[in-house]
Amino acid sequence: MKRFDRELLSELRAKAEASPRRRAHHNVHEDYQQPVQRLFVCMLPDSYVRPHRHSQPTKWEFFMVVEGCLELLFFDDNGTLTERLALGPQSDVLGVEIPPNTWHATVCHAPVTFVEVKQGPYEVTDDKDFAAWAPKEGETQVPAFLSQLKTLKTGEAVRL
């Protein structure tokens, strides 16, 4: 039996604080070839998750927040925000399953820890398609773009 306690969450947050990407994960699955990938993720407010989609027809994603609040942003093909959904213990929604081929990104305003479940096996080369209308991780536009994502309203389009 595997147990997941507050100590794990605390260690994960310390790793996120030390990470240049400002997030860290703890895999529950044994390896990337398993048919179901399960992980805890701790993300800090300055972590950038580039908008992406999983275009393989069987690649859904499930998120459930354990601590804090995670905002999931959903977009159309042109980068217009179609929905903003807050997940967490203080929200009406604790978790969500995202269907394949759905443009999405995550943002937070305070540290958040969530559980992510997705179908495997995990292949880094075809796991996700990144949005052409969003900067690549590490590019100079990222801080301004992330700030924009945090305040974008439904119906508004992102801009580089």
**Cis preceding-peptide flag for 121 (omega within 30 of 0):** yes
Both structure tokens of 148: 């924009």
Percentage of residues of the chain with pLDDT beyond 70: 98
How many of the other CB atoms lie within 10 Å of CB of 146? 19
pLDDT score at 120: 84
For 50-80, the pLDDT digits (tens) are 999 998 888 899 999 999 999 999 999 999 9
Q: Which residues are 101's β-sheet partners?
A: none
Bridge-based pairing of strands 61-67 and 112-119 is antiparallel
Instruction: Return the ∠ at Cα 60 (arms to 110 and 77), rounded to 5°.
Output: 80
Could you give the 3-state DSSP secondary structure of residue 64? Answer: strand
The CATH number of domain 6-146, selected from 1.10.3210.10, 3.30.1490.20, 3.30.310.10, 2.60.120.10: 2.60.120.10
Q: 23 CB contacts (<8 Å, ≥6 apart)? A: 16, 41, 42, 43, 44, 47, 49
The DSSP 8-state label assigned to residue 80 in this structure reads: B
* Cα torsion angle, 98, 106, 50, 145, sign: positive
Tell me the domain boundaries of the chain.
6-146
| Banded pLDDT at 8 (limits 50, 70, 90) | very high
Residue whose token pair is 């990144």: 130
